[in-house]
């Protein structure tokens, strides 16, 4: 259990009480359905409103917009419990990323219209950045939002979009001035409702892991939205995206650390139970040495993660520190997953064992949120 890890210092008693309610909810309402969601390739939308009813969604939203007005530590608790429990629901995207864009940059009208619905789970959101042929280079996006009277006309396509099949509202990164120099000055974020004419969902993409997390192609063909659907100022989209990246990358780091901890604990249990050569796998010196090494690294990881969370709560976490957290914790996650799978032997390659699902799901964390190669580049530029 995450609340039994010694020496943690990021949270107070209120945070930990919240953790208990989150864990209880997930054990009752989510865990029993994970296998069905994995088989279906998508999470049932009903879990969103259930989570909203118990205050799990967007806890940082101010009270005047229907939220609890809490700090990011409550988001972090949800992130930890979701990842530790292996619950493949895209709450973190909504709570840690999308809602903050609207809180920070939305008009009063946009806040009143959307934030209460994000908190309740009535509206599921996605953010559409990545395009076919355009990954981490956001300035190269080709989707456009051209003015036509008092409307934008959005054209383009996006891919690898989390929550894409379920989303009711999509934050679309588009060029409102394709000729702007430098290119980032022509980028804006446009709110597109899923019932707009010309919006189409493509495939629910077939991934090697995180099977229940719907990841989709999205298409925009002459989609007309009012100019009031521009989030914040026109041409400031790239700046907005960059300003929110430390929190996004911290969220990824939190999930990576929590899932690594669960894999480690599962592996201790497995190796103590698995018979081999008239003993158990845990009795082999190699097994204990591997696990001892992982335990030490996880201990360091929790200390660093709590440091980063505290920095972020104090509004001091820098973009470089966020990138470093994402880089280090996702690399640790992969090391833990791979070594733990190895200690499972042939069983580790079987999807019926939790380690197999965890191993497959962990592979993407070094890619999304900016690849780890990009993280190294960002850190390197700061030296």
> What is the average per-residue pLDDT within 76-100?
96
pLDDT attached to residue 139: 76
> What is the average per-residue pLDDT within 325-337?
98
pLDDT tier, 338 (very low <50, low <70, confident <90, very high otherwise): very high
Decide which of 47 and 4 is more confident: 47
Return all residues near 129 (Cβ < 8 A) that are at least 6 apart. 138, 141, 158, 173, 241
Count each helix (H run) and each strand (E run) in the chain, helices first: 12, 9
Residue 255 has pLDDT above 80, yes or no: yes
Catalytic center residues: 248
Return all residues near 314 (Cβ < 8 A) that are at least 6 apart. none
Is residue 111 a contact partner of residue 103, using CB atoms and an 8 Å limit?
yes
Residue 224 has pLDDT above 90, yes or no: yes
pLDDT tier, 136 (very low <50, low <70, confident <90, very high otherwise): low
* Residues 171 and 298 occupy one common structural domain: no
Closest CA to 88 of 247, 200, 207: 207
* Residues 39 and 112 occupy one common structural domain: yes
* Residues 60 and 179 occupy one common structural domain: no
- What phi, psi does 291 have (nearest 5°)? -65, -35
| Domain of 149, in residue numbers | 126-234
Angstrom distance (rounded) from CA 169 to CA 369: 20
* Residues 133 and 117 occupy one common structural domain: no
For 66, 72, 194, 215, the CA distances from 121, given in Å and listed in that order, are 12, 18, 15, 19
> What is the average per-residue pLDDT within 9-31?
97
* Residues 204 and 305 occupy one common structural domain: no
Structure tokens at 256: 């990576």
Closest CA to 170 of 153, 147, 195: 195
> What is the average per-residue pLDDT within 238-261?
95
Residue-wise pLDDT tens digits, 174-185: 999 998 888 889
* Residues 55 and 151 occupy one common structural domain: no
Q: How many domains does the chain have?
A: 3
């Amino acid at each position: 259990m995450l609340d039994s890890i010694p020496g943690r210092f990021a949270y107070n008693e209120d945070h930990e009480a919240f953790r208990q309610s989150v864990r209880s909810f997930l054990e009752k309402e989510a865990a029993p359905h994970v296998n069905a969601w994995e088989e279906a390739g998508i999470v049932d939308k009903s879990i969103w409103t259930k989570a909203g009813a118990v205050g799990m969604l967007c806890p940082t939203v101010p009270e005047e917009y229907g939220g609890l007005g809490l700090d990011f530590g409550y988001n972090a608790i949800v992130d930890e419990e979701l990842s530790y429990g292996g619950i493949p629901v895209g709450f973190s995207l909504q709570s840690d990323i999308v809602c903050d864009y609207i809180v920070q940059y939305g008009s009063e009208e946009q806040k009143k219209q959307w934030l209460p619905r994000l908190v309740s789970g009535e509206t599921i959101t996605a953010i559409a950045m990545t395009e076919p042929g355009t990954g981490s280079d956001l300035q190269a996006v080709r989707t456009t939002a051209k003015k036509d009277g008092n409307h934008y006309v959005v054209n383009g396509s996006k891919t690898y979009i989390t929550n894409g099949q379920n989303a009711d509202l999509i934050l679309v990164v588009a060029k409102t001035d394709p000729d702007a120099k430098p290119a980032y000055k022509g980028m804006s974020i446009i709110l597109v409702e899923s019932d707009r004419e010309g919006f189409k969902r493509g495939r629910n993409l077939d991934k090697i892991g995180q099977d229940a997390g719907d990841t989709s192609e999205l298409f925009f063909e002459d989609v007309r939205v009012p100019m009031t659907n521009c989030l914040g100022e026109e041409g400031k989209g790239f700046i907005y995206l960059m300003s929110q990246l430390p929190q996004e990358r911290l969220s990824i780091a939190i999930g990576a650390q929590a899932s690594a901890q669960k894999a480690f604990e599962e592996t201790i249990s497995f190796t103590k139970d698995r018979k081999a050569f008239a003993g158990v796998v845990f009795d082999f010196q190699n097994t204990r040495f591997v696990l001892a090494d992982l335990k030490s690294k996880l201990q360091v990881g929790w200390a660093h993660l709590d440091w980063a969370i505290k920095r972020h709560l104090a509004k001091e976490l820098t973009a470089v520190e966020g990138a470093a957290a994402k880089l280090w914790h996702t690399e640790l996650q992969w090391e833990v997953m791979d070594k733990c799978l190895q200690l499972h032997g042939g069983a580790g390659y079987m999807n019926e064992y939790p380690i197999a699902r965890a191993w497959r799901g962990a592979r993407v964390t070094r890619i999304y949120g900016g690849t780890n190669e990009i993280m190294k580049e960002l850190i390197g530029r700061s030296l």
